[in-house]
Structure 1
Amino acid sequence: MKLSRTLALTLPLVSSGAMAADLTVKFDLPQLNVAEYHKPYVAIWVERADQTVATTLAVLYDVKKPNNAGEKWVKDLRTWWRKAGRDTQLPIDGVSGATRAAGTQTLTFAGAKAGLDKLPAGDYKLVIEAAREAGGRELVRVPFTWPAKGKLAAGGANSAAGKEELGAVSIAVQ
C-alpha cells in the first residue's frame, strides 16, 4: 500500500519535469578585421513584455582571470547589467561561462535548469547582448511565445541579426 501511494505521488512530478521544453540559441560572433580583437562578453536572457528580466540564461565572460578580474568588465553588458547584473553575485552556477571565439555558437538550455519551466504562458523576447573590449556593444531581441505549440524551429520569425558585434541569432524550442 505504501509503495503504490508513493508511486502515485511521484509519477506526476516525474512526468511534469519530462514535459519541460529545452530552448536552443544559435548565434554568430563575427570575426572583425581590427588591429586588436578580443572575444566579446555575452549575456543571454529572457525578457517579459514589460522588458523586465524573466530569467538569465548565460553570462559569458573571462571567468579564468586571476582574482575574478574578468567580472570587472561584465558591467559593459550595460543593458543586462542594469536590469539584472548589478543584483547578481558572479559567478552564477550553471549560467556563467567562458567567452566564445568568433564563429557560430549553439547553447541549449534545459527548461527546468534554466528556470524556463516557471515562466507563465505568454509572449517573451530572447535577448542577447555582446560587448567587446576596444570594440562596440550590440543587443538583439528575438520574440517568441512560451510554451511553444509543438516544436519551434530556428529561423524565420524566430530569428534576428545584429550588424557589428553579433551576426544571426535564432532560437528553437523542443
Structure 2
Amino acid sequence: MRVLTTLCLTLLAGHSLAASFNVEVEVPRLRVAEYHAPYVAFWIENPDRSTIVPLGLWYDDQEKWLKDIRQWWRRTGRGQSRPYDGLTGATRPPGSHSVDFAELDALKALPAGDYELVVEAAREVGGREVLRLPFSWPADQAQNQTVNGSNELGTVTLTITP
C-alpha cells in the first residue's frame, strides 16, 4: 500500500510540475528622451469578453499611472484593491521576461472553453498597446501562440503544456 501511495503521489507531483501557462514578454528598448518602463497587465477573457480572470500586473509604487492601462483598469483594475489579484511585481526593463501563471488558483478554476490571454502595456510619457492571444483550456496538448507588438511591446508568446 505504501508503494502504491508513493507512486500515485510521484505521478501527481510530476503532472503538476509538467503543466505550464508561460507568458514571455519582450519589452523593447525605445529611443525616447524620457523613458519609463511600461506597466503591464495580464488577464483572461472569453472571446466575447464576458469572463475576466486577472493573472498579473507589473507596476511600481506610483499607482496613479495604473489608470493608463485603460482596458485592464476598466475591465478589472478599478474594482480591485491592493494587493491586486494575480502575480504582481515591479515594472521590467527592456529585454525578454518570462512568467508562469500555472499555479494561480484562478487559472486552476477556469472552466473548459476557448479564451484569449490579453496583455496590455502603458508607459508614463509614452503610448499603450493591447495584444490578444487565443487558447483553449484545459490544455490536452501543447499550445504555442505568438503575437508581435508594434510599439510598447515586442514579441509576446504564450506556451501552454498539459
Normalising by structure 1, report the TM-score: 0.79
Q: Quote the residue 2:56 is aligned against.
A: 58
Identical columns (%): 45
Distance change in 2, residues 1:94/1:146 (3 Å): closer
**2:128 corresponds to 1:137:** yes
Q: Quote the residue 2:148 is aligned against.
A: 161
Cα deviations by residue, 1:47-101 (Å, 9 ceiling, x for unpaired): 11221343111111003xxxxxx11111110000000001001222652210000
Task: Give the secondary-structure state (helix, strand or coil) at the position aligned to 2:142.
Answer: coil
**Residue pair 2:55, 2:85 contacting (<8 A) in 1 also:** no
Which contiguous aligned blocks of 4+ residues in structure 1 show a shift greater than 6 angstroms? none
Q: Structure 1 counterpart of 2:89, which letter?
A: G
Task: Give the secondary-structure state (helix, strand or coil) at the position aligned to 2:63.
Answer: helix
Give the drift of 1:37: 0.4
Counting matched residue pairs gives 154
CA RMSD after TM alignment: 2.4
Q: Quote the residue 1:127 is aligned against.
A: 118
Q: Quote the residue 1:147 is aligned against.
A: 138
**Residue pair 1:54, 1:119 contacting (<8 A) in 2 also:** no
Match of 1:89 among 65, 81, 84: 81
**Unpaired segments ≥5 residues, structure 1:** 1-6, 64-69
Give the drift of 1:132: 0.4
Q: Which has the higher strand share?
A: 2
**Unpaired segments ≥5 residues, structure 2:** none
